């Protein structure tokens, strides 16, 4: 890392910084510029040393050279990771489509959804059984009963079940029914939960927090990988910005940016990313064109009567049309879908 000293720092104080850096087991290298002196600390680790140096009164700023994540990086593993469960294949040139309702509401609703999304080309089924809701007065999900219905839908259709787990003590229960454990955006930095799914023997779909930086996102993945679970897919679902015409702002540049830095596959969630059903199909096609490894899309047999997220849910018909467009783009660009 590079330690930039304040303007006018004396040689004695620069020497003190050199001593400090060396006491941390690093090599110090002083560069005297025309207006500032900087000290390069060689042998940088990823353990938060940086903060310590920044608190010295003669230090203007500390600039890290290395990315803070390691196991998730392309440098650690150059070939892309593929998350694969049943027929759902995300990454390595294959685009995996996960679709279904926001919440599991009833046997009919989830079965009807599963059949419809399968017919349109999905290989994964989404559906919330444990629902994180902003208000304590909103529907909180069918819980274990919902998980059972999801498993029944898988048994009939062969779709891989992707569903959210909200707290460490539920991991075992959810893993009993699900094929992919989803970590919701609100829990991206719930470290006990990340460690718990890191120990589970299930693939994980990790959603980006609405104000998480890319480094924070990859460090959250690192918590999971660090426990030995390598089946991790990242999900960009939009970030919170000043824009209010959409529910979130969906930055598709995350796809190529992440692909340069990590071997983990990238899934896009255009439903939460926009919050408006009519914007979802063009953003599905755009995601494919940007190089996404998968999509997760909210589809409901009857959006106006959905118990949650109706405004951003596609009808089965609209979803099928969107998938047709996506397939055309995928074929044009040489991806499998």
Q: According to CB under 8 A, which residues from 267 to 286 bind a copy of itself?
A: 273-274, 276-279, 282-283, 285-286
Q: Which of 13, 18, 44, 230 binds a copy of itself (CB under 8 A)?
A: 44
Instruction: Evaluate whether 126 touches 160 at the Cβ level (below 8 Å).
Output: no
Length of the chain: 337
Site map for a copy of itself, 227-246, x if CB under 8 A? ------------xxxxxxxx
- Rounded to an integer, what is the distance from CA 37 to the centroid of its chain? 40
Kindly tell me which residue out of 22, 47, 145, 172 binds a copy of itself, with binding defined by CB under 8 A: 47
How many residues of this chain interact with a copy of itself, rule: CB under 8 A? Answer: 112
The CA distances from residue 245 to 219, 304, 306, in Å, are: 30, 20, 22
Strands 232-236, 203-207: pairing kind = parallel
Among residue numbers 136 through 195, which ones bind a copy of itself (CB under 8 A)? 136-139, 166-169, 186-187, 189-193
Query: Which of 87, 111, 210, 230 is the binder for a copy of itself (CB under 8 A)?
Result: 210
Considering only residues 308 through 327, tell me which ones interact with a copy of itself, judged by CB under 8 A: 308-313, 325
Of the pair 84, 302, the CB lying nearest a copy of itself is at 302
Q: How far is the CB of 139 from a copy of itself (least distance, A)?
A: 7
Choose which of 10, 15, 52, 106 interacts with a copy of itself (CB under 8 A).
Answer: 52
CA distance 97 to 93: 13
Instruction: Write down the least CB distance from residue 17 to a copy of itself, Å.
Output: 10
DSSP 3-state assignment of 106?
coil
Specify the residue for token string 């390598």. Answer: 230
Residue 207's DSSP bridge partners are 235
Q: What is the DSSP letter of 313?
A: P
């Amino acid at each position: 890392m590079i330690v930039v000293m304040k303007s006018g720092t004396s040689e004695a104080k620069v020497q003190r910084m050199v001593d400090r850096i060396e006491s941390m087991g690093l090599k110090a290298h002083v560069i005297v510029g025309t207006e500032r002196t900087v000290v390069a600390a060689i042998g940088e680790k990823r353990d938060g040393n940086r903060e310590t140096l920044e608190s010295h009164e003669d230090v203007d700023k500390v600039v890290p050279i290395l990315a803070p994540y390691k196991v998730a990086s392309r440098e650690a593993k150059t070939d892309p990771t593929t998350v694969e469960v049943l027929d759902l294949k995300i990454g390595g040139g294959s685009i995996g489509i996960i679709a279904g309702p926001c919440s599991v509401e009833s046997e009919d609703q989830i079965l009807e959804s599963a059949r419809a999304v399968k017919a349109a080309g999905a290989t994964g089924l989404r559906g919330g059984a444990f629902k994180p809701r902003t208000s304590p007065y909103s529907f909180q999900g069918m819980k274990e009963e919902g998980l059972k219905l999801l498993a029944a839908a898988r048994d009939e259709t062969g779709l891989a079940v992707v569903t959210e787990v909200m707290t460490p003590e539920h991991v075992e229960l959810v893993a009993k029914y699900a094929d992919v454990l989803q970590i919701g955006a609100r829990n991206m930095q719930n470290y006990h939960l990340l460690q718990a799914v890191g120990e589970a023997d299930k693939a994980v779909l990790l959603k980006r927090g609405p104000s998480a930086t890319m480094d924070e996102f990859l460090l959250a993945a690192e918590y999971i990988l660090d426990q030995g679970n390598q089946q991790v897919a990242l999900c960009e679902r939009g970030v919170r910005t000043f824009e209010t015409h959409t529910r979130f702002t969906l930055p598709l540049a995350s796809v190529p940016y992440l692909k340069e830095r990590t071997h983990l596959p990238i899934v896009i969630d255009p439903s939460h990313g926009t919050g408006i059903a009519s914007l979802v199909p063009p953003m599905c096609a755009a995601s494919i064109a940007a190089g996404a490894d998968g999509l997760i899309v909210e589809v409901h047999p009857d959006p106006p009567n959905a118990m949650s997220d109706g405004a951003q849910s596609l009808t089965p018909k609209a979803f099928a049309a969107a998938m047709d467009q996506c397939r055309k783009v995928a074929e044009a660009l040489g991806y499998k879908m």
